[in-house]
């Protein structure tokens, strides 16, 4: 039994949810998101979205919780938005942006220039004595996570000194170095 799928998704003021055929569209002040679904019945009733599954088949149970979580993330995204922050740990690691172009200096012989999708707002914070921070904001949770993972993949944190690109608040597994 999916406990997540059974709870309805409340629709806040200023958000509209439309269900047509096998497509859910959520519109809010920050944007519009769509999601396809299959095998589940989605209904909008009394200011909330209710999901029902036709049987207790394992596939239906899995999709029940999945689509409820996706719709909830869409509603949350168009009302408040999603934010990911990445921290650049290392001597000489820098980040700057010109519009939607992110310029990263991560210790390679050249800078990495990345074009960011227009739906994602990007901000770089560089304070003296602190590690540079790249802040990504959007209404689409999946897109923010995908862009953040791409940036992190350029230089993953290494386990000895912790140098690299990491999420703010991420706990790293550290290793002891050579014992003398």
Based on the fold, state whether residues 89 and 158 are members of the same structural domain: yes
Query: Which of 57, 79, 101 is a domain's end point?
Result: 79
Mark whether 108 and 140 lie in a shared domain.
yes
- Determine the Cα angle at 12 with ends 65 and 138, to 5°: 75
* Number of domains making up the chain: 2
Task: Say if residue 74 is in the same domain as residue 86.
Answer: no
- Domain match, 38 and 65 both: yes
Residue 96 burial (C-beta neighbours within 10 Å; 0-12, 13-18, 19+): middle
Structure tokens at 119: 């739906």
User: What pLDDT does 179 receive?
Assistant: 81
The pLDDT tens digits for 57-77 are: 899 988 999 999 999 999 999
SS3 162: coil
- ∠ at Cα 97 (96, 102), nearest 5°? 95
Longest dimension (CA), the chain: 69
> What is the C-alpha to C-alpha distance for residues 45 and 47, in angstroms, rounded to an integer?
6
Q: Is residue 108 part of a domain?
A: yes
Catalogue the E-assigned strands of 70-129.
Answer: 82-89, 94-98, 101-105, 112-115, 121-125
Asked if residue 70 and residue 139 are part of one domain, the reply reads no
What is the tens place of the pLDDT at every residue in 89-138?
Answer: 999 999 999 999 999 999 999 999 999 999 999 999 999 999 999 999 99
CA separation for the pair 165, 155 (Å, rounded): 6
The last residue of one of the domains, among 37, 61, 79, is 79
Same domain, 115 and 38: no
CA distance 112 to 157: 17
Assess whether pLDDT exceeds 60 at residue 51: yes
- Whether residue 70 is found in the same domain as residue 90: no
What is the per-residue pLDDT for 145? 96
Side-chain-side CA neighbours of 87 within 13 Å: the count stands at: 15
What is the model's pLDDT at position 178? 86
**Do 42 and 93 lie in a common domain?**
no
Has residue 178 been placed in a domain?
Answer: no
What CATH number is attached to the domain comprising 11?
Answer: 3.90.930.12
pLDDT band at 5 (very low <50, low <70, confident <90, very high): confident
Q: Which domain holds residue 93?
A: 82-167
């Amino acid at each position: 039994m999916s406990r997540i799928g059974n709870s309805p998704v409340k629709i806040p003021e200023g958000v509209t949810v439309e269900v047509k055929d096998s497509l859910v569209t959520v519109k809010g002040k920050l944007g519009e998101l769509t999601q396809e679904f299959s095998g589940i019945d989605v209904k909008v009733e009394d200011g909330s979205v209710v999901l029902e599954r036709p049987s207790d088949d394992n596939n239906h149970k899995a999709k029940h919780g999945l689509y409820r979580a996706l719709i909830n993330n869409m509603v949350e995204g168009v009302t408040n938005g999603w934010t990911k922050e990445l921290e650049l740990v290392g001597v000489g690691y820098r980040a700057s942006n010109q519009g939607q172009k992110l310029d990263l200096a991560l210790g390679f012989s050249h800078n990495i220039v990345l074009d960011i999708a227009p739906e994602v707002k990007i901000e770089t914070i560089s304070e003296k004595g602190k590690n540079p921070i790249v802040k990504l904001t959007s209404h689409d949770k999946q897109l923010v996570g995908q862009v953040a993972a791409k940036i992190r993949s350029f230089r993953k944190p290494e386990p000895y000194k912790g140098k690299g690109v990491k999420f703010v608040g991420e706990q790293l597994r550290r290793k002891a170095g050579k014992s003398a």
